[in-house]
Structure 1
Amino acid sequence: MARIRGDIHPLAPHKTLRPEAQVDDGFLTNKKDKRTMKHSAFLSKVAKTAPGSGKALKRRRPNKKLVATMESLADALPELEAGAQTLDQLREGKVRHKSLKSRPGALKRKEKVVKAEVARFGASMAALASVPAAVNASGAGAGAMAVEEAGSHETTTSATSSRWAALRKHISSTMEQNPAFST
């Protein structure tokens, strides 16, 4: 009646267990009371075995004692670090690749890309190799050996620059370029 009148909150439980109340086993006749008692017993077991409560566990004594101490281990560390390469030095000489996710057909796609790159590299090298023959042919028509020795440094510089120019021209003509970056 009190619940209907509004004296008790509608969501309040019908029965509440008071810790100071004495409950004998004869009272526990219905299933709900038995379940409540089992639950409270379980909660008390969990509270006792909680990591922060109770006594500290005894540790088993080791069979063999450690020969080294922390000080001797700390003394050994600088010797190891002095001879070893730093992490930056190890990373400096290596090319880092992003890992590719393994998907069906990834090896075939990679194979196609590698074949195309090898073919393009071969064509670039062929274009680069064909330029020095033209430069040497024009240089051979000079006639005098003394003139050629005096200007040998200039001809090698111009030959190298013309090789690079030919290579740049070949690559730019064969490579796809985004229209936003074209001049």
Structure 2
Amino acid sequence: MNDNYTLKLNRYLDLFELEYDKVVEVLQKKYGEATEDYFNEVSYNNFISGKNKSPNKGQTSRTDEGLFCHHVDENIYKSISEPNLAKIQRIPFSSQSKSKLVYCDLFEHAILHAIISKETDGNFGKQGLEAHLFRKLKQWYLNLKYPRYGWWNTCYIKSYLNEHEAEILLIRIAELQMD
């Protein structure tokens, strides 16, 4: 790796050398495991079967630390965190369990989705990457329109790279989609 890059950028770039499952392991070691399921199990199962209008969410947010919660099974299901899409796909509760969640900063989240997209030939991961993650990273780190307050600002600071480093990483993410 180039010595001109920060250690942080190098750590991000190193993730591209790993398969999806290994990246998940690295991030679980780095940030620890979730302590609660994404949705309450009884509530979720009742929602899926049509007994509830919506499932109750667990306490999984760590945005106060600048971290996002990523569903590990996003490589086999789309939009797992969206209740109505989970219902349509009949996603089993096991995909919402705490063992199937991993925390990550915004760049790591984009890298996870890029690797999923590559490993599934664009069938999974790509939509979230293009519609949300890549756009947000570009806005914050290249267009320099970043949040100044609240939890979004905490996430921005946690993921911070300078403009040049962010461009390198975003190019690598885009290249992975073309491989």
TM-score (norm 2): 0.20
Structure number with the higher strand fraction is: 2
Calculate the TM-score normalised by the size of structure 1: 0.19
* Rg (Cα) greater in structure: 1
